[in-house]
Amino acid sequence: MPSLETLISPIIHSPQLAEISQLIQQTLDDERRLRNEFYADMTPELKIEFIEGEVVMHSPARNVHLDVTVWILKLLHTYVGIHQLGEVKSEKCLVVFPRNDYEPDVVYFSPAKAQGLQADTMKFPIPDLVVEVLSESTEQHDRGVKFEDFEAHGVLEYWIVDAEAQIVEQYVRQGETLNLKMKSSTGELRSETVLGFVVNVRAFFDAQENLVALRALLGG
């Protein structure tokens, strides 16, 4: 992603700087108003996100998407719970970024961030790890604005999971960018954010492999 200096330089030197500034401010004011309405209207029953000034409602997911999400959630939730490494949440967890609000399929918060969560928390901080299971309706955002937002605002690790192709892409932070560390349907995934978490990728896509990995995490 280009630096802020690179992005803003053409605007700073434009003769239309004042007009551009006014337009940006008006856009931000409009988005702030719409975002407040979004917060007022949202309910726990709906899976909705606020992206670039628009409310995005998600349709019901396919069975394979639901299975893969649950299998990943079980493994992360179990491991993090056993080792007291923070908190893992699922898709109804609204994470708040400076401009946008997302409800990823799975998120992980380090102990430092987890300490700030309360029983009535509905707006969560930026996660340390985000997992998105792709669907036709979400892939553009998952690979586009979300990736850029996660990269720009400190997400340490991002897994993009293709349930249909049974492939996981693991992106990890290196300086200011999220770089691809692994893209595979086999082998081991080693998280750089959830300390010590190592799992067979097949456990994300197969019920029996998931049980094997879960038993290993439980020491059984």
Judge whether 138 and 132 are in contact, CB under 8 Å: yes
Q: Report residue 176 as tokens.
A: 């200011």
> Cα(116)–Cα(100) distance, rounded to whole angstroms?
20
Cα-only R_g, the chain: 19
pTM over 0.85? The answer is yes
- pLDDT confidence band for 91 (50 / 70 / 90): confident
Per-residue pLDDT tens over the stretch 184-201: 999 999 999 999 999 999
40 to 37, 50, 122: CA distances (angstroms): 5, 12, 12
Per-residue pLDDT tens over the stretch 125-170: 999 999 999 988 889 999 999 999 999 999 999 999 999 999 999 9
Task: Return the residue matching tokens 């337009």.
Answer: 23
> Cα(168)–Cα(131) distance, rounded to whole angstroms?
10
- pLDDT confidence band for 47 (50 / 70 / 90): confident
For residue 220, the model assigns a pLDDT of 58
Residue range 41-47: mean pLDDT, rounded: 81
158 to 90, 148, 194, 212: CA distances (angstroms): 15, 11, 12, 24
